[in-house]
Amino acid sequence: MVKTPVLVSERLCFHPWEPEDFPLLVALHRDPQVQHFLQMGDPPWDEVFLQAKFKSFRADYAARGWTKFKVTDRQRTFIGRAGFGRFEATQELELGYTFMRSLWGQGYATEAAGALLDWIYRVEPVDHVIGFAVAEHEASRRVLEKAGMMFTGIRNVDGIPNAFYRHDRPL
């Protein structure tokens, strides 16, 4: 049975993860180029690590109604993940996205970021959302900027310089 997405944008559908979706997450993160800016030299994310991530995505949705959602196109083809988590250092809501490499450069991350930011302020009483990207990852930084996020500075995350951005709740 196909479940109704939590959010639909022009080309994208955002779904909570179902138990049978784990292989999709593994396939996404198996690509070394997809992983490059997520790991920055750390060991590859193995199945044990990804299983823990998968469980946390499902638990976040069950507890809060938001997560790093499974993203499909309108034909229900898996294309990546995008949504929200808590940034551990500050407990702020953090926007994140990762898409299949074959789909990079087609505007999916920008579309996802904009749709998710519009949506989160309707469902969660937060006054702002943060986002960050490895400082040298120009494409991801452009996505955050196109979504209306404002650059707030460079901070180290696990010893890696990251560009931080903030999006305030619209008035």
CATH of the domain at 21: 3.40.630.30
Give whole-number Cα distances, 145 to 23, 84, 112, in Å: 32, 17, 13
Within a domain: 90: yes
**Whole domain around residue 40: which residue ranges?**
7-127
Within a domain: 23: yes
Within a domain: 166: no
Residue-wise pLDDT tens digits, 15-69: 999 999 999 999 998 887 777 777 555 666 788 989 999 999 999 999 999 999 9
Within a domain: 29: yes
Within a domain: 106: yes
Amino acid at 9: S
Residue ranges of alpha helices (H) inside 9-73 are 22-30, 32-39, 47-64
CA 60 to chain centre: 13
* Chain mean pLDDT for the chain: 92
Within a domain: 79: yes
Could you give the number of structural domains in the chain? 1
| Predicted pLDDT of residue 42 | 62
Query: How many C-beta neighbours within 10 Å does residue 77 have?
Result: 11
Residue-wise pLDDT tens digits, 80-139: 999 999 999 999 999 999 999 999 999 999 999 999 999 999 999 999 999 999 999 999
Within a domain: 63: yes
Tokens of 147: 């979504």
| Predicted pLDDT of residue 158 | 83
Within a domain: 94: yes
Residue-wise pLDDT tens digits, 130-168: 999 999 999 999 999 999 999 999 999 888 899 999 999
| Predicted pLDDT of residue 1 | 52
| Predicted pLDDT of residue 43 | 63
